[in-house]
Amino acid sequence: MSLFVELKRRNVLRVAAAYVAVSWLLIQVAETTFPAFGLGDGAIRAVIIVLVVGLIPMLIFAWAFELTPEGFRREAEVDHGSASSVRMTRRLDRLIMVVLALALGYFAFDKFVLDPARDQAREQNIAEQARSDALTEFYGDKSIAVLPFTNVSSDPGQEYLANGLSEELLKLLARIPELRVISRSSAFSFKGRDVEIPAIAEELHVAHVLVGSVRRSGDRIQITTQLKEARTDTDLWSETYDRALSDVFDIQDEISANVVKQLRIALLDEAPEARRTDPEVFSLTLQARYIEQVGAENSTEEAYALVDRALELDPDYIPAMHLLALVNYHRMREGLIDRRDSMRLQRELMHRVLVTDPEDGVATAYLAWTAFEKDRDLEKAAAGLTQAVGYEPGNGEVLRLAGSFARYIGRFEESVEILDRAAERDPLCFNCLWQLSVSYMVADRLEEAEAVRRKYIKLGSGGFYYLAFMELMKGDPQAALEALETDEVDPSQRSAARAMALHDLGRATESKILLDDLIERWGEDRPDVIAGAYAWIDDKDAAFDWLDRAYGEEHNYFYKKIFEPVYRNLHEDPRWIIRREQAGMSAARLAGLEFDVDLPD
């Protein structure tokens, strides 16, 4: 009897086929599920090794033993011609067919359901890596993140000082145009998290990280800093400063100068210096800022009292003026002061800042934005925002305002360029990513818009309405419906987007039912959403009717909707052109605007 026939008689070949099929299925499942539990390639390799090694003992066992209705028995004791043995053989054949069917089904599921999702994720990772490589190549080694310093004082209450000093250093370094400095919201997002320096560098796309600690004892302060080559977590420079608290500004300047020296930055202008004030004013400002950021109960009024006291002692201290403007905004949000008073106080504070420092970029940008929003003075806004970027080209807030303004006046590519630069400075800034994704969308760069929008969704919450709308713009209403299958969508926007998608799918009756329900439930509160839905399905009369309800005769806030893609079917209608003129946003006026932001190379 040949070996092959004997292997077949003893069911060794059947067992081998079943084992290989089950092993393949287990490996595929492991590759799909292990990453979700934080298990990487090592765990998957271990599964493969165990299964491969287990094949030999399984075949030896199949050669020596046979499965019978009475359990496993030695092969020599089994009558292969008996009815029971034949039945067991058939059962084994059926088991093999079931396993193969499961494997085939999983293969189809993986190929047509999971694989496209993996491809999309892979493409997004490739795009993100390409962006990271481009940033690294563009800035070279001239990029840095300042992480929040650690408070090593015996008093935990000195946390505000450690936090504030690192933030002041960050702002000081950000005033160096030749250096890319990550904004506070991104750099400080790692506070309290156990993340390795190389991982932080990869997420923020920086070559260097500045870390440190602060110890205060009475009027003495000890600051220890380390400049690290981020990707390898190696020290390039470290220093400990043990001085009087009144020397804190000189210490900041020395740290900044050492960073410039270590990174071999060739400054085109003089190195910026820390703003000087009385140490008590400095301390009061840092305390107020820390309390405001922590956001405990009654924190806004406590922060207000501290920063107000700081400005009593030094009325010209610019950081305190900027902080008071923010505190007053939060007081308005909490109903502690009237909106008009808040806006008036902010304008007064920004004018005071510019008296002290005429080239303060943030104050210049805010006043320009006020001219746009409140007075619709486009010319003043364009000039002010151009100046603001010239003053502080590395300030993410200045860039965000300038980029948003560029989109509202129809300069889409300029908007993308400016907001992309803002996102470079603040990679984890929700608002920056939100604005950038919308600018990509209105520029009809939909793949990039979707990639940025998905990053926004991953970092924060919400954002699915615009994701669905991007799918509509791409001509895929079914994908739009799928994007809306989440609770993280405003109910009125979900109904409107679904109505638009159903219309595009040719399901007009279902679309109308949703629109009628939308009007009944949100007609009073969200006429703007209803107007957009009717505009998209090209019911122009209904769209203009709801536009009038949304924005009134003076078309307040309509000026920000001029280039919204949801209204694109209305853009050539004479009624739309009239409304643009009434809003002070006529095509002729926008075309004549001088707005040419010069971003440094």
Q: Where are the domains of the chain?
A: 3-122, 143-274, 461-601
**Contacts with 389 (C-beta within 8 Å, 6 or more apart), sequence order:** 361, 365, 398, 399, 402, 418, 597, 598, 599
3-state secondary structure of 319: helix
Distance, CA of 331 to CA of 177 (rounded, Å): 34
CB atoms within 10 A of CB 556: 10
Q: Name the pTM for this structure.
A: 0.77
CATH number of 143-274: 3.40.50.10070
| Amino acid 226: pLDDT | 95
Report pLDDT digits (tens) over 504-548. 999 999 999 999 999 999 999 999 999 999 999 999 999 999 999
**CA atoms 227, 176, 395, 168: torsion sign:** positive
pLDDT exceeds 80 at position 436: yes
Categorize the per-residue pLDDT at 276 as very low, low, confident or very high, splitting at 50, 70 and 90: very high
User: What letters, b where the CB count within 10 A reaches 16 and e where it falls short, cover 76-107?
Assistant: eebeeeeeebeebbeebeeebeebbeebeebe
Query: At which residue do the structure tokens 């840095």 appear?
Result: 144
Categorize the per-residue pLDDT at 126 as very low, low, confident or very high, splitting at 50, 70 and 90: very low
Give whichever of 69-73, 353-357, 422-426, 428-432 has the largest mean pLDDT. 353-357
Categorize the per-residue pLDDT at 29 as very low, low, confident or very high, splitting at 50, 70 and 90: confident
pLDDT exceeds 70 at position 304: yes
Average pLDDT over residues 446-456: 93
